[in-house]
Amino acid sequence: MREYLLTLCVTAAVTYLLTGPVRKFAIAAGAMPEIRARDVHREPTPRLGGIAMFGGLCAGLLVAAHLSNLKHVFELSNEPRALLSGAGLIWLLGVLDDKWGVDALVKLGGQMIAAGVMVLQGLTILFIPVPGVGTVSLTPMQGTLLTVALIVITINAVNFVDGLDGLAAGMVCIAAAAFFLYAYRMWFGHGLEAAAPATLFAAVLMGMCLGFLPHNMHPARIFMGDSGSMLIGLVLAAGAISITGQVDPDALALWAGSERAAVHATVPVYIPLLLPLTVIAVPVADLLLAVVRRTWQGQSPFAADRGHLHHRLLEIGHSHSRAVLIMYFWSALIAFGAVAYSVNSASMWILLLVVVLSAVGLVLLLMPRFTPRAPRWAERFVPPRYRRKAVREVPAAVQPSAEDGEERREPVPAGLHGATVIGDRSRFAQGRKTVGNR
């Protein structure tokens, strides 16, 4: 665990330190597109944040290759090299799109090429565990097509959800954390060495997102752009494919009792990770809804609009920060709920907790203007908007008396201090007249 934490910290530190210089480079290079109709930010913001994230990825893999335990992942598997090759191609495509813009079909072709390069180097799905059936082996052609499809779907799902400050990085970080717990349990809990690359990928991905988030939280100083969103989507897909298509259920049968029992024991997370529908369920749902919506309206599935889930949260009254936190909540609930259920699928407490938290999430969705207040003792640790506003005295307003012409002082409500009161349209003006006519 210590080596994984070291890899995570190095990745996060390199990403964080590179983001500042990358921001200055993006401004100098003119990678600050004009604000579009679907954008929610007010001022032009530099992109190319994916450059810093790619630097963090390279640094994390480089450090891991020299650690005593993690270096065996590079010696026994070609998957880290496959990931780095595909990540380099998708990152370069994203940089070109952030600076000059790339046609949607060209981007789709580039994503398929990057996925194909990863497949050629061994990162592919070999078999699928199916409940009630067992292991279904795939032909090389079937494995290639399924792997490429999953990588492309995941990349575009993360790219589509990157619409608010800190949204994509935070949601992918949550997904990577849940994925890390699952993969680490498979690797060290059950001794399945084939899960080691996926565990490393999840740790590096968490570091990339955590290092970039401080610069990307609202109001964002830099955007990750397609160079970042497509990159983290590819890394997440690589980990899911590695553990789902490479871990042999025959090995799981050693601790589950039989192959069929092994498949049943891991199906709460196994099949969703294959597609993948738990760790990035919210982005995938947003992707599917966007494709259906745009196709129904006669538009291209890649045509941008303001119909995404985060746009709808803003429309019903949620603030920018609250919309992001709500998306975080649902992502964490689905991802960690699935991981917890995979550990003990017979426990009703887990299902009950998920139901209760889902009800809480629905209440938050229906109360867009509710502002929670922190307790007094915790106010110093939360942003000012969550602190209780203390009632304090304000300087008295000076006004002449109607009887003797002397100045008379009257307390001014805090909300009207410094404002000009006109005519009889306010209760404050009426109060002034009453005092003056005494």
Domain extents in the chain = 2-280, 397-436
pLDDT at residue 213 greater than cutoff 80: yes
The pTM is what? 0.74
Q: Do the annotations mark residue 159 as ligand-binding?
A: yes
pLDDT digits (tens, 9 = 90+) for 119-161: 999 898 887 766 566 677 888 899 899 899 989 988 988 887 7
- Identify the top-confidence range among 190-199, 302-311, 363-372, 387-396: 190-199
Over the chain, what is the mean pLDDT? 76
Q: How confident is the model at residue 87 (pLDDT cuts 50, 70, 90)?
A: very high
pLDDT at residue 31 greater than cutoff 50: yes
Q: Do the annotations mark residue 226 as ligand-binding?
A: yes
pLDDT digits (tens, 9 = 90+) for 185-206: 877 776 677 788 989 999 999 9
pLDDT at residue 115 greater than cutoff 90: yes
pLDDT digits (tens, 9 = 90+) for 386-435: 566 654 544 554 444 444 444 444 444 444 444 444 444 444 344 444 44
What angle separates helix 2-29 from helix 50-64, to the nearest 10 degrees? Answer: 150
- pLDDT score at 183: 84
The length of the chain is 438
pLDDT at residue 170 greater than cutoff 70: yes
